[in-house]
Amino acid sequence: MAEKDPDVAHEVLRSIRQIVRRISEHSKYLSSEAGLTVPQLMCLKAIGEIDERERDAEITVAMVGKSVTLSAATVSRIVDRLVTAGLVARERRAVDRRKVCLSLTAAGLERYQTLPTPLQETFVARFKALEPGERDHLLSALRRISSLMDATDLDAAPLLVLGEDIKQADGEG
């Protein structure tokens, strides 16, 4: 039995590597198709979806952050890049000048309507289709793998991107 353990460990490592490669390939695909990093795409998508769902909503950075599960500071830097690209507009409200609202520009709306589907959306839909017991089992196994790799203390948003993509979108890279 002990002889098979290295093979199983290698298969687990191979599966982890396949996941990392898929995330990398999909990030490159999204970048070439949409001209955006995954975090930028997710923020643009969130602004468009909030606007569709809540017509005349005053969309704030905090609302977008909540939608994409990133901090307001990170979203603000991502939005800076979307504003520079001419896809998003920032507007101070006349009534309360402290409040800054976001909206898609005409170019942003056009881009929003043709955005490719992010990998995490496909994953979440497929994951939700699994039986609850299987979902719990997978979560437990992944948490254990995270622990075995000393990764449980790392902060991570539920976005399927490589660390480099988040840093670049956040203005760090």
Q: Mean pLDDT score of the chain, rounded to an integer?
A: 86
79 vs 38, more confident: 79
Instruction: Walk me through the domains of the chain, giving residue ranges and CATH numbers.
Output: 5-115+156-169 (1.10.10.10)
Interstrand relation of 100-104 and 88-92 (parallel, antiparallel or unpaired): antiparallel
For the chain, give the percent of residues with pLDDT over 70: 88
Does residue 93 surpass a pLDDT of 80? no
Does residue 144 surpass a pLDDT of 90? yes
Q: What is the distance, to the nearest Å, from the Cα of residue 163 to the centroid of all Cα atoms in its chain? A: 11
Residues whose CB is less than 8 angstroms from the CB of residue 164 and which lie 6 or more positions away in sequence, other chains included: 173
Determine the average pLDDT of the residues in 57-75.
Answer: 89
Does residue 70 surpass a pLDDT of 90? no
pTM for this entry: 0.76
